Amino acid sequence: MKTNRNYPTNSQQLQRLLILYWALGSFAISAVVALMSIIPLYNQLKKQEERNLQFAVHTRTMTVEQFLSRAKDIAEQITSRTKGRQQLEQYNQGRIGMSEVAAFGTQLLTDAMKRTEDIAGITRLDGAGAVVARVGLPIPTELLLVPPIASFEALVSHPIELQSESYLVVGAPIINPTSLQRVGTDILLFKITGLQRIITDYTGLGETGETIIGAVNNNEVQLFFPLRNQVRASASMLGAIEKTVASGEAQLVKVSTGSEETAIVATEPIKNSNWAVAIEIDRRELYAPVNRQLVIVGMAIVFMILLGTGGVVLLLRPLADRAIVHMDELEEKNQEKIQEVTNLLAEKTVALEELKQAQTQLVQNDKMAALGQLIAGVAHEINNPTSFIYGNIDPATEYADDLIELIKLYAQHYPQPHPEIESAAARMDLEFLLADFPKLLASMKVGADRIKEIVQSLRNFSRLDEAEMKQVDVHEGIDSTLMILESRLKEKPDRPRIEIIKEYSKLPLVPCYPGQLNQVFMNILVNAIDAIDELNHQELSQPSKILISTSLGESDRVAIKIKDNGPGIPEIVQNSLFEPFFTTKPVGKGTGLGLSISYQIIVDRHGGQLRCVSSPDAGTEFVIEIPQGS
């Protein structure tokens, strides 16, 4: 048999072509599959950013609604003073004179202004609408907001400007609860610096995000505050606000210039008003995170395709060599090599099955890795602003201490300041401000610590770590919880301040999960405060006390007892106290999970005990016992 000298060259070309076509085919199929996967992913990520924008509008809307509700609540608390209403009724009936009702009303309204820094002035009207008392900044007659005679609810005006400052006018009727007749009206001048802070908070909106709040009157949109990046609001934003107020539903509008989208506007109406909140952001900035994620995913997919193609080439090179050898031998021993070709095909089938299994496992690993990266990314995004806040609290505290020290030095060396300074100090209650400001900063630090714990929990989840026990001081956890609840302990119009009595014993450091133990303290203390509030609604003279005691009991078990002097818990209710979703509170004020979660934390996580000792009209005591070796 003659030998063809060109045969080896043709075999090598066939080998190269086989590997090339196989590699190109694998690359093309992988690219098509990847492209078909990326397009739905891209659309889903865009929708997620749009939902995030709508959530940002919803969050601000809820905050504005809470601000307006608080303003109405403050006004209604002032009008609900029984003595002031009775004085006004006697004046309307001619039983007392103008000087007497004015003096008592001025004293009452002054006391109300001292309780909050949000009120700049209060004007009280009698039943005929005439001014009988006025404190703080006077309200012009044309701006007095008097609710309709048939209305029992407070009204809130649009922002007005007085002496270069913006305020809300809140009008609250004074109603006799027996006759349901109006005896007068309180008109409050409410500062809107808090509302402006809500609207001008551009956190998470980048450089082009614009937040506005406006009202629709006579088909015209009135904006309340200056814009961030524009001289005037765009027509698209104004139109979106008008449609939202008219429909009463949240909207997401994509603004286009020609055939190209340029901006996204999200709006949401404010309940029971003609107001609406809107956020407008440049389309490119809104979808910038999506584009970055898409680039990263695309690069990863290209890398994996190239890696897979390279693996196929490396795998096919020896297989192609063997295939060429078998094809050459088939020309001489066709019948003899049929079985060898069959074996080769079987080997290729097994190799392809193994490759498919490897690809399936790789996809599953990528999914888990992507989930971990997503959680770690969320934790990172939360950690950045939190670290900024946390890192500035200590310098802010030092600056505040320096300023307070400077003010005290001024007061020491200049005991008789200028009358205008004395007036300003009295108006702002300087002594209270100097005492409360450091506490405020301390509370902010506690809140920042809590956010850091949440961020750490997210990071732990992303690394699949488990929380560890720590040796902690139980008293520090109780004191931190009380600091967070300080606003609930303060005096209220319907009850005196809740007195906290601490009877701490000397305790060793306790091994526990600090965050979970603090959650137990929070749940029990909140229930105690709610019970005292319920009792004071029925009997105003009842003193309000919570006793917290600690001790080291038998078998080295640390005991923490929290006792209130509330109305107590019936025995039939105590049997279901620690069951999930069981609650005695009204709908919307309790989930029934607080004590159930607390029981799981103490009993299951710490191997301790949690029990309730209570009887009607004798208060309630919760006893927590944690073993030293938990």
Contact 534, 544 (CB under 8 A): no
Task: Specify the pLDDT at position 312.
Answer: 66
pLDDT tens column, 558-574: 999 999 988 888 888 87
Q: Which residue has the higher pLDDT, 230 or 101?
A: 101
Q: Which residues pair with 125 in a beta bridge?
A: 131, 185
Instruction: Give the chain's length.
Output: 630
CA 134/CA 122 separation, integer angstroms:
6
pLDDT tens column, 335-385: 666 777 788 888 877 777 556 544 533 443 354 345 446 655 766 777 778
CA 327/CA 494 separation, integer angstroms:
99
pTM of the model: 0.44
pLDDT tens column, 155-202: 888 888 888 888 889 999 998 888 888 889 999 998 888 788 877 777
The secondary structure of 137-206 as a DSSP string is: SPPPGGG-----TT--S-EE---EEETTEEEEEEEEEEE-TTT--EEEEEEEEEE-HHHHHHHT--TTST
Q: Return the minimum-mean-pLDDT range out of 50-64, 129-143, 473-487.
A: 473-487
Q: 622 falls in which pLDDT band (50, 70, 90)? A: very high
Q: Return the minimum-mean-pLDDT range out of 101-115, 425-439, 442-456, 525-539.
A: 442-456
What tokens were used for 292? 């970055």
Question: For the chain, first and last CA: distance in Å?
Answer: 89
Q: What is the mean pLDDT of residues 279-295?
A: 82
Residue type, 574: Q
Task: Specify the pLDDT at position 467.
Answer: 52
Angle between helix 514-538 and 474-484 (nearest 10)? 50
Task: Specify the pLDDT at position 375.
Answer: 54
Q: What is the mean pLDDT of residues 320-345?
A: 69
pLDDT tens column, 428-472: 888 888 888 888 888 888 888 877 765 654 554 343 334 567 888
Q: What is the mean pLDDT of residues 74-100?
A: 87
CA 405/CA 507 separation, integer angstroms:
36
CA 22/CA 28 separation, integer angstroms:
10
Please state, in angstroms and as integers, the Cα–Cα distance from residue 12 to each residue in 9, 19, 111, 149, 322, following that order. 5, 11, 100, 101, 12
Task: Specify the pLDDT at position 365.
Answer: 38
Q: Which percentage of the chain shows pLDDT scores above 90?
A: 6
The H or E element spanning position 359 is helix 338-413
**6 contacts: CB under 8 Å, gap ≥ 6:** none
Q: What is the mean pLDDT of the chain?
A: 79
The H or E element spanning position 314 is helix 288-330
CA 468/CA 456 separation, integer angstroms:
12
CA 253/CA 236 separation, integer angstroms:
8
CA 131/CA 159 separation, integer angstroms:
22
What is the phi/psi pair of residue 545, to 5°? -140, 145
Contact 212, 199 (CB under 8 A): yes
What tokens were used for 241? 């606000």
What tokens were used for 372? 């971990």
Q: Which percentage of the chain shows pLDDT scores above 70?
A: 82
- Strand duo 182-191 + 119-126: pairing: antiparallel
CA 210/CA 541 separation, integer angstroms:
51
CA 128/CA 287 separation, integer angstroms:
59
Task: Specify the pLDDT at position 587.
Answer: 60
CA 143/CA 158 separation, integer angstroms:
11
Render the burial of 327-348: b for 16+ CB within 10 Å, e for the rest: eeeeeeeeeebeeeeeeeeeee
Q: Which residue has the higher pLDDT, 333 or 481?
A: 481
Render the burial of 520-537: b for 16+ CB within 10 Å, e for the rest: bbbbbbebbbbbbbebbe
Task: Specify the pLDDT at position 466.
Answer: 40
Return the residue matching tokens 């004293």. Answer: 107
Q: What is the mean pLDDT of residues 525-545?
A: 78
Q: Which residue has the higher pLDDT, 623 or 431?
A: 623
Task: Specify the pLDDT at position 555.
Answer: 75
Q: What is the mean pLDDT of residues 494-502?
A: 86
Task: Specify the pLDDT at position 6.
Answer: 45
